[in-house]
Amino acid sequence: MAKTQKSGDVYDPSCSARDALELIASKWAMLILPALADGPMRSGALLRRIGGVSQKMLTQTLRELEKNGLVIRQDMQTVPPHVEYRLSPLGASLSDVLVALDRWAELHFPELDAARERFLRRRS
């Protein structure tokens, strides 16, 4: 038992809440989980939905999320293969928070852009 703290403090690097945070703090997880909030999806559909993700990163991230019980992988055992991914209840609760984050980004990115420009002009 190397890293079992019950404190539940993300500021403590030895608490596995930190691991949870690092799992979430992934560019792709932040898009995949909210994408699945609308309902189950096949990997091909996710690939089309999430612009810019490579197939490798998509499956890699899905595996990671599955390992942590956030996503459920349902293999129909047919050929050609048909696999569906959906949120677990735990994943759904996280997805709610991530949706809020995505919406924040969509709402406020112009302000970030403006701040960056101001910053550049200041040092010129």
Q: Can you give the binding site for DNA, defined by CB under 7 A?
A: 26-28, 42-44, 52-57, 59, 62-63, 73, 79-83
Closest approach of a copy of itself to the CB of residue 62, in Å: 13
User: Which listed option, a copy of itself, DNA, none, makes contact with residue 40 (CB within 5 to 8 Å by class)?
Assistant: none
Rounded Cα distance between 44 and 15, Å, is: 36
Looking at the DSSP bridge assignments, the partners of residue 87 are 71
DSSP annotation string for 75-112: E---SS--EEEEE-HHHHHHHHHHHHHHHHHHHHHHHH
CB 88 within 8 A of CB 26: no
User: Which listed option, a copy of itself, DNA, none, makes contact with residue 57 (CB within 5 to 8 Å by class)?
Assistant: DNA
* Closer by beta carbon to a copy of itself, 66 or else 84: 66
Chain residues in the site for a copy of itself (CB under 8 A): 8-27, 30-31, 35, 49-52, 66-70, 90, 93-94, 97-98, 100-102, 104-109, 111-116, 118-119
* Closer by beta carbon to DNA, 24 or else 107: 24
* Closer by beta carbon to a copy of itself, 8 or else 80: 8
Rounded Cα distance between 2 and 27, Å, is: 28
Rounded Cα distance between 66 and 48, Å, is: 20
User: Which listed option, DNA, a copy of itself, none, makes contact with residue 32 (CB within 5 to 8 Å by class)?
Assistant: none
